[in-house]
Structure 1
Amino acid sequence: MTPQRVTLITLGVADLDRARSFYAALGWAPAESLDKVAFYQMNGLVLGLFGTSDLASDQGRPNATLGTGAMTLAQNFMTEAEVDGAYATALAAGATALKAPEKVFWGGYSGYFSDPDGHVWELAMNPFWPLSPDGSLTLPDTP
């Protein structure tokens, strides 16, 4: 049986220096930065930035053209004001606005942006999913 967990998410980026600069403008600092990859320590997992051609080679597909895939990365916050602040910071850092934060059908508050490589991020406040003081999320028990 395979454990139900994710320990590392790696994003393929067209220009690693540009990606490092973007995430630095969000206030993120790499825990480890090598010539071809940067790693950011998160709550219980690591986010990696890896040049797309180097990532394709690492995957054993040196001639592959990698895209961004159909997925969304998300950050949850404790308040709507925190969502608004993070959204403003992302736009100031060079993100592309996709949807400004607003109240949403499921009872929360969220907005979307994409980073310079097109990776989509959701910023959300979900009143049904309380966050730990360190910002980590554990789904509440359901009846």
Structure 2
Amino acid sequence: MNAKLKVSTVMLGVKDVDRAKKFYVEGLGCEPEQDFPGFVKCRLGEGSSSLALYEWAAAAQDAGVSPEGAGFRGSSFHFITDSRDEVDEVMRTAVAAGGTAVKKAAAAEWGGYFGYFSDPDGYLWKVATTA
């Protein structure tokens, strides 16, 4: 058997599951698929991985690692679209839901258009056009 790696769910360790759920579900319109105390899993849309929100310390315990850690985690999530208007709309929606505009959407030297926001736990999202 040649199993190929794929991403079916992205899990975020969050400090407050209820706050994260409010941001992603109520603010950004993600659809809850599972909702338990300390854990929420959401559908993100056709062709996309699921998003799981898991209490930070419990996620660390589950993996058998220390919950200590801070700062940039060396990763970001990207939403690529064909429309500058959609980039602007997603950025506005994220900020209205309690996120932070980290870098305002603007034209890039390479021809695209992009901006960054962070969710309430500091996870970075890049919203961009391809050109």
Q: TM-score, normalised by structure 2?
A: 0.87
Name 2:50's counterpart in structure 1: 46
CA drift of 1:66 comes to 4.4
**How many residues were matched structurally?**
126
CA drift of 1:31 comes to 1.4
Partners of 2:6 and 2:69 in 1: CA distance: 24
CA drift of 1:4 comes to 3.5
CA drift of 1:78 comes to 2.2
1:56·1:66 contact (CA, 8 Å) conserved in 2? no
1:25·1:93 contact (CA, 8 Å) conserved in 2? yes
Q: Which amino acid aligns with 1:123?
A: V
Is 1:74 paired with 2:74? no
Q: Following superposition of structure 1 onto structure 2, how do residues 63-142 of structure 1 map, counting pairs within 5 Å?
A: 63-67=66-70, 69-127=73-131
Partners of 2:121 and 2:34 in 1: CA distance: 21
Is 1:6 paired with 2:10? no
1:80·1:109 contact (CA, 8 Å) conserved in 2? yes
Partners of 1:101 and 1:26 in 2: CA distance: 18
List per-residue Cα deviations over 1:3-41 (Å, max 9, x = no partner). 132122101100000000111211222111121211112
Deviating more after overlay: 109-118 vs 20-29: 20-29
Percent identical residues: 34
Partners of 2:104 and 2:123 in 1: CA distance: 16
Partners of 1:83 and 1:64 in 2: CA distance: 33
Partners of 1:109 and 1:72 in 2: CA distance: 17
SS in structure 1 at match of 2:122: coil
CA RMSD across the alignment: 1.6
Partners of 2:18 and 2:37 in 1: CA distance: 10
Partners of 2:69 and 2:92 in 1: CA distance: 29
Structure 1, unaligned stretches of length 5 or more? 128-143
Q: Which amino acid aligns with 2:110?
A: W
Select the structure that is richer in strand: 2
Q: Which amino acid aligns with 1:3?
A: K
